[in-house]
Amino acid sequence: MHQYGVRDVEKLLRLPRSAIRAFVAAGFVSPSRGPRNTWLFSFQDLIVLRTAQALAASKVPHRRITRSVRELRRLLPDAMPLSGLSIGAEGDRVVVREGGKRWQADSGQYLLAFDGDPDDGSLSVIEPAAGAPPSACGQDWFERGLALERGDAEGALKAYEQAVALDPTHLDARINLGRLLHESGQLAKAERTYREAIKVGGFDPVLLFNLGVLLHDMGRKAQALELYQKALKRDPDFADCHYNLALLCEELGRPKDAIRHMSQYRRLVKRQD
């Protein structure tokens, strides 16, 4: 069975290490230990982490999250595609969407989606056709982008663009779109994407960090420095940000700051290991 290190989890789920530590401490996942006592996560662990992340953001009570992720782990096979799941809160229920099916996480009971108007007698169960494109929903297009990233970067980019068009508040889609634009060399468009995301979604540390990386690559070092510092104010345990800031301070002739941030980076990485 393939296992994932902390860096893999950060990249796949876009979770900062501080959040991963918190979910492990809360008992949502129990990663195994690899060489040098490093954490190793299973595919099910990734699914559970993603679930806990979504439910915590929806302010679902801790006890219900714990019960739901425990049952979710029991019901899911190891090989289920991560991008095929959508987890959310509907009232006081934790609901998972798996393809065209919806089920309640803490009981495993399947739920049916309905369309129509009961008042005029028209009511039917929605059964999406196999292989159908995502519905007109930003989250569907975002998940499609995640699934496409490894094998079809251009398709993923278009999916994220569609997600943003349908849901301008979808911060994760904007961040991933900016990153792919950066990686494809569309630097000006990537910058516009990130700055629009800041206007819409606020000062998310990953967003600030990504914009800092972009500006650093563009040679705008003073602006990159400011963005890295802002990201660390919002997440002091952002290890990669400390690392990049250390390199940038070295370039700017600030050796004491470079040493301080590199020490912070090493401390955080050692603590994660």
Q: What is the pLDDT of residues 203-222, one digit of tens each?
A: 889 999 999 999 999 999 99
Q: Is the domain of 176 the same as that of 91?
A: no
Q: If you average pLDDT over residues 60-88, what whole number do you get?
A: 60
> Would 142 be classed as within a structural domain?
no
Where does the pLDDT of residue 118 fall: very low under 50, low under 70, confident under 90, or very high at 90 and above?
A: very low
Cα end-to-end distance, the chain, whole Å: 21
- Of 46-50, 173-177, 205-209, 234-238, the one with minimum mean pLDDT is 46-50
Residue 129 has pLDDT above 50, yes or no: no
Asked which of 55, 90, 113 is the last residue of a domain, the reply is: 113
206 and 98 in a single domain? The answer is: no
Whether 105 and 57 map to the same domain: the answer is: yes
Is 134 a domain residue?
A: no
Say whether both 100 and 36 belong to one domain: yes
Is residue 127 included in any domain, yes or no?
Answer: no
Domain count, the chain: 2
Same domain, 195 and 93: no
Q: Is residue 237 part of a domain?
A: yes
260 and 154 share one domain = yes
Instruction: Name the burial class of residue 27, with classes exposed (0-12), middle (13-18) and buried (19+) by CB atoms within 10 angstroms of its CB.
Output: exposed
Last residue of a domain, one of 113, 132, 158: 113
Structural domain boundaries, residue 228: 150-272
Half-sphere exposure (CA, 13 Å, Cβ side) for 52?
Answer: 26
Q: How long a stretch of residues is the chain? A: 273
Give the mean pLDDT of 128-136: 39
Mean pLDDT of the chain: 76
Residues 216 and 107 grouped into a single domain: no
Cα Rg for the chain, rounded, in angstroms? 20
Domain CATH code at residue 92: 1.10.1660
| 241, pLDDT greater than 50 | yes
CATH code for the domain in which residue 263 is found: 1.25.40.10
**pLDDT at 14 > cutoff 80:** no
pTM: 0.55
137 in a domain, yes or no? no
Question: How many CB atoms sit inside 10 A of residue 202's CB?
Answer: 11
Show which of 93, 113, 133 is a domain's final residue.
113
- C-alpha–C-alpha distance, residues 216 and 253, integer Å: 15
- Both 79 and 29 in a single domain? yes
Q: Give mean pLDDT, residues 257-270.
A: 91
pLDDT number for residue 257 = 95
Are 219 and 161 in a shared domain? Answer: yes
Specify if 196 maps to a domain: yes
Q: Are residues 211 and 106 in the same domain?
A: no
> Is the CB of residue 243 less than 8 Å from the CB of residue 212?
no
Residues 253 and 162 in one domain: yes
What integer pLDDT is reported at residue 19 of this predicted model?
76
Token couple for 256: 């004491």
**% pLDDT > 90, the chain:** 32
Q: Are residues 158 and 212 in the same domain?
A: yes
Residue 139 domain-assigned (yes or no)? no
Facing residues of 94 across strands?
Answer: 89
Residues 181 and 153: their CA atoms lie apart, in Å, by 10
Residue 141 lies in a domain: no
Per-residue pLDDT of 17-42, as tens digits, reads 777 887 788 777 788 888 777 888 88
Q: Are 145 and 176 in contact (CB under 8 A)?
A: yes
Spatial distance between the Cα atoms of 146 and 65, rounded to a whole number of angstroms? 24
